[in-house]
């Protein structure tokens, strides 16, 4: 095997080659019919579902993050279930008419999409982005995270081979094998690139927004979960623990802190313990603080996506085999309390508050400390409380009475299935939507004239009579009439 001395140059060359090939393939794919597009996407969905378990195992093996069974579910969500959700979306030709307004809407593909893939959800995100790109008649080049190259490449290969076999052009779906920061940067900046889909850590998303190309990015999700006194407590406990434990908490919409109404806090603590939550002691919490976070506040990458048992051992204590999540009782939010940060692992903060208004304020503190624009979860049956949280919180997903990890991405709710959750302007992104196929094509409009133009628009600009300009002179006769009226009024006042 020949040793590669200049890995960065190899990566840059690969990026250029794949981008150019994708551009040529997209030119061909832009002429596909809706029937052809849907046939290819259906084949991709079938292939992705068939490979779901194999790829889930590969992802856990390569990254060390998460749970195989849970990654299987995510792979199915982003292949079979995603296709069910977007199958009927029109992406070719005329997609809508409004006769009353004289409008005809025509779908127009973006071109070449560059997809940045995270290490936390590599195979499911690769499935998701390739599927929506092909449905929109775009080409896509995938840039894996350096710690998830093998599984991301394999997931992309599964989709690419299925697409070509079903009639898509070669090069429409591609993935980098030689990954470097320089290569990814070259791919994003390439003249063939039309759009960037950036899912991952904050530095990577910022880099995507800085290259001068249109980009859809995500943001951190320091998601609070408020438990109101009106909640169905057994259900809330079951769903909260299951959600935090799901795939060892690597989905950015997973709950990061429970904010619990005091009157029901004792009972709720008992219920979550029965579901597998382990409340750490203060000394154990301190050990977690030291292990989970670096001095600059960044999370220790070896702690991401790990079980409670692995975390406890690494931090220097032990927990029962039955523990599904760890809970630390907290009283502060901010840099002085590291455990109030986003924790993409099985550790949950716990705050107690007196009523929903105090819960609102505590939740806002958590959102402002690293989760602006993303999501909030709550368990309540009082609609006034639910509405207040929806109106007041600077987030784009208010997930009610379900698992936030799965509800925000569309598994247990009616929101669009997505692995790219926009945090909106407040979170530094262009949209707060769950990114889907509609975001990957533009719409051209045929617009028919409905009414005559205003008269001034039909002149050459010199016909001032048509403009009804205000008069600037008054005749002598008019001045005399005004004077007589003023004198008469003065005389009447004198008589009175």
Long-range contacts of 158-162 (CB under 8 A, 24+ apart): 158/47, 158/48, 158/51, 158/55, 159/44, 159/47, 159/48, 159/126, 159/127, 159/130, 159/131, 160/130, 161/47, 162/40, 162/43, 162/44, 162/46, 162/47, 162/48
* CA 239, 240, 242, 244 torsion-angle sign: positive
CB 280 within 8 A of CB 328: yes
Alpha-carbon distance of 251 to 342, in angstroms, equals: 11
Judged by DSSP in three states, 339 sits in helix
CB 78 within 8 A of CB 167: no
Residues in the chain: 496
Q: Is 252 a catalytic residue?
A: yes
Q: DSSP assignment, residue 469? A: P
For residue 115, give the nearest of 107, 123, 103, 106 by alpha carbon. Answer: 123
CB 159 within 8 A of CB 48: yes
CB 373 within 8 A of CB 220: no
Q: Which of 151, 175, 252, 360 is catalytic?
A: 252
Residues designated as active site: 252
């Amino acid at each position: 095997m020949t040793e590669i001395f200049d890995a960065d140059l190899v990566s840059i060359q690969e990026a250029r080659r794949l981008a150019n090939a994708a551009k040529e393939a997209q030119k061909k794919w832009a002429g596909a019919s809706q029937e052809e597009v849907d046939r290819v996407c259906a084949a991709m969905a079938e292939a992705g579902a068939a490979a779901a378990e194999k790829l889930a195992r590969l992802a856990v093996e390569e990254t060390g993050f998460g749970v195989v069974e849970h990654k299987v579910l995510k792979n199915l969500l982003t292949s079979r279930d995603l296709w069910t959700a977007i199958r009927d979306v029109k992406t070719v030709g005329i997609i809508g008419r409004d006769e009353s307004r004289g409008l005809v809407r025509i779908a127009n593909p973006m071109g070449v999409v560059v997809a940045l893939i995270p290490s936390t959800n590599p195979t499911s995100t690769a499935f998701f982005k390739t599927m929506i790109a092909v449905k929109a008649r775009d080409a896509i080049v995938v840039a894996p995270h350096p710690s998830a190259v093998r599984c991301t490449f394999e997931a992309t290969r599964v989709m690419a081979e299925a697409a070509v076999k079903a009639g898509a052009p070669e090069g429409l779906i591609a993935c980098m094998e030689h990954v470097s920061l320089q290569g990814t940067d070259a791919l994003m900046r390439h003249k063939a690139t039309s759009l960037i889909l950036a899912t991952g850590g904050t530095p990577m998303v910022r880099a995507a927004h800085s290259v001068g190309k249109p980009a859809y990015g995500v943001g951190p999700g320091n998601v609070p979960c408020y438990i109101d006194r009106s909640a169905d407590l057994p259900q809330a406990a079951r769903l909260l623990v299951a959600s935090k434990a799901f795939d060892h908490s690597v989905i950015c919409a997973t709950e990061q802190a429970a904010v619990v109404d005091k009157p029901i806090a004792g009972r709720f603590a008992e219920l979550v313990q029965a579901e597998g939550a382990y409340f750490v002691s203060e000394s154990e919490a301190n050990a977690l603080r030291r292990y989970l976070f670096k001095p600059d506040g960044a999370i220790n990458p070896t702690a991401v996506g790990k079980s409670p048992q692995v975390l406890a051992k690494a931090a220097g204590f032990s927990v029962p085999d039955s523990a599904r999540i760890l809970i630390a009782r907290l009283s502060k939010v901010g840099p002085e309390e590291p455990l109030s940060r986003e924790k993409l692992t099985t550790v949950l903060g716990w705050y107690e508050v007196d009523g929903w208004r105090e819960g609102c304020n505590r939740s806002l503190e958590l959102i402002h400390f690293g989760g602006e624009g993303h999501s909030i979860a709550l368990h309540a049956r009082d609609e006034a409380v639910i509405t207040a949280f929806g109106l007041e919180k600077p987030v784009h997903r208010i997930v009610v009475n379900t698992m936030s990890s799965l509800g925000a991405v569309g598994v247990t709710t009616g929101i669009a299935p997505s692995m790219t959750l926009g945090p909106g302007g407040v979170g530094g992104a262009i949209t707060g939507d769950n990114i889907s196929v509609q975001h990957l094509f533009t719409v051209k409009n045929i617009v028919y004239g409905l009414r005559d133009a205003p008269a001034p628009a039909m002149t050459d600009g010199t016909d001032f009579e048509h403009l009804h300009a205000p008069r600037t002179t008054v005749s002598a006769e008019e001045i005399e009439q005004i004077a007589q009226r003023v004198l008469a009024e003065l005389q009447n006042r004198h008589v009175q």
